[in-house]
A and B are shown apart, each in its own frame.
Chain A
Amino acid sequence: MTATATLAPLVDPTGRRNKAADSTLAPRPTSLRGLTVGLLDNTKPNATALLTAIAGELRQRYDVAEPRSYVKDYFGTPAEPELIERIVRECDVVITAIGDCGSCSAATVADGVLFERAGLPAVSICSDSFLMSARAMAGLEGFPGFEFIAVQHPVASLDGEQIAQRARGAMPEVLRILGVEA
């Protein structure tokens, strides 16, 4: 018996369909003075505290307007389009936190990309244990180099003073991502 080799290509088993590359950022403000900062809280422990602390720093040091707070329905998936639209309408920049779990790190970055594409400068804050999932999500969204803040893990278990330290430590990155001088 002679065996004849029938060579055939292997079939692609992936669902790979990253969104088309689109890494345009929203236009940056020249100064933060008087701007309305949106704070998008994903309900994870200490998200409110961290966002409030950062907003406090911005108010004190850069004279931003009274911040506006928003809460996501669910931390594991990106914000609903209606919420994104509302924040874009009502704010000049947005900060969202805290991506300190598998699904919410990815969702926090996805939210940032969605805001930027809708014309709103966005600071997404994750914890540094979840750098990889956050970056993977940026790639999936067609924005592989998307910049976000990775604060030191953990966040959930910190007390008020420790949160204030994390907020102060994040300030240079907040300003850099928003494109304003410190």
Chain B
Amino acid sequence: MTALDDAPGTPLADAPLVDAAQIRAAMDHYTRQGLSDGLPVVPVTEEYLQEFLAVTTRDPDEVLLTMAHLNRQLTVRLAAVNAALAGCRPDFFPVVLAAWDALATEPYPVRGIWQSTTGTAPFLIVNGPVRDRIGLNSRGNVFGSGFPANATIGRAIRLAAINVFGLQPHQLDQATQATPAKYTACIAANEEDSPWEPLHVERGLAAGDSTVTATVIRSVVHVEARHTHSPEQLARDVVDTITRTGALLHEYTSAFVVLGPEHARVFADAGWSKEDTRRFLLTHAVRPRAELAAVGKDAISRHTRWRLPADHPDAVPDQAGRGTDPDLVPVLGSPGSVQVVVAGADNAGVSAVVEVFGHPREWPASIARVEAPPIGG
């Protein structure tokens, strides 16, 4: 008989009473108007919006990002409406603002990449004390579901892209397939289980600062390597994923390697610093030209600089093809094209390669500081 005590259909203890029809009516309204990512959104009134605007010193009318070609501007107020809609708590909002600050300095969003067939998504890495303050997950299931801050901060970006910039799928957003990261892609770094200094400290910020690092990504690819304690073997396994030809739209690719703590220790225990690890990946991320020729990507277009076969009328040699060792083609174009972050549970030899969209840059992302909470707050 005890099983009946928690039988399905009985009222949930301690839950508030609701007018379910009214909640549904509000959620349905947003969906019908195309103001969502397909999932139900949280109804936002002016009173609720004010709770978000109260956690920042910034002017609600401050412009965070302008898409001149779409004639649209994202203000602090609109970022707050969409954060609330996404299900953020008001105390998540400073992280959303920092995410927009970082994304605003990224080269591709203002150049129409979120309309592109390639189907990219923003990707956010959070460092520093704010992770614990708002419950951001940095451990098990770090790319998965289950954590309100991770789930809703990434979603706040997507909803603003749809609602503020008008990037509706099948209309201005013409992604051929896109990526599941479009719903949300926000991880916290696992600084506590990392043998190395965290990303924001590497970038010259204080350990006590909280930051959001943002970039534009195409895929998150698994690396399973539970078999080895050799840093060289592990690094080459990661390299194989970085250098896959499918990632090569442009001449080069770029990547954030998100190492599980166990993998990070394989390198650290062998005496490799993060910089050593990065250098090894960079140096070895090379494909024999014959392998690129086999998939028809052994040259680049004189117009778009995209990879294509050497016998194509638009083909010109890639950079390696004009150098001293034309048969070995580096796929990472700049010393900064591969970065290393530690995140995930300390329970298995699993990592991921996050493929960053675009041409080589000194650093393949932008970083912004999260506004500190008010004193005594």
Contact = CB atoms under 8 A, between A and B. Distances in A.
Please indicate whether A and B come from the same complex rather than being unrelated chains: yes
Instruction: Give the interface size bracket for B toward A.
Output: 35 or more
B97 to A, nearest CB: 16
B44 A103 contact: no
Contact of B116 (A13, A18, A74, A76): A76
Nearest to A141: B71
A19 interface: yes
B75 to A, nearest CB: 8
B318 interface: no
Contacts of A8: 45-47
A14 B46 CA distance: 14
B303 interface: yes
B268 interface: no
Contacts of A140: 70-71, 166, 172
A109 to B, nearest CB: 11
B40 interface: no
Interface stretch (B107-115, B121-129, B144-152, B326-334): B107-115
Instruction: Give the interface size bracket for A toward B.
Output: 35 or more
A15 B111 contact: no
Interface string A78-111: 1000000000000000000000011111110010
B116 A3 contact: no
Given A77-B111, A106-B112, A133 B74 contact: no
Contacts of A19: 71
Main secondary structure of the interface of B (DSSP, over half): mixed
Nearest to B85: A13
B347 interface: no
Interface stretch (B157-165, B180-188, B195-203, B369-377): B157-165
A15 B45 contact: no
Interface string A1-44: 00101001111111111110000000000000000000000011
Interface of A: 3, 5, 8-19, 43-45, 74, 76-78, 101-107, 110, 130, 132-133, 135-137, 140-141
7 contacts: A13-B81, A15-B72, A45-B314, A77-B111, A77-B112, A102-B112, A103-B115
State the 5 A-B residue pairs at the shortest beta-carbon distance, nearest first.
A103-B112, A102-B174, A76-B112, A15-B164, A8-B45
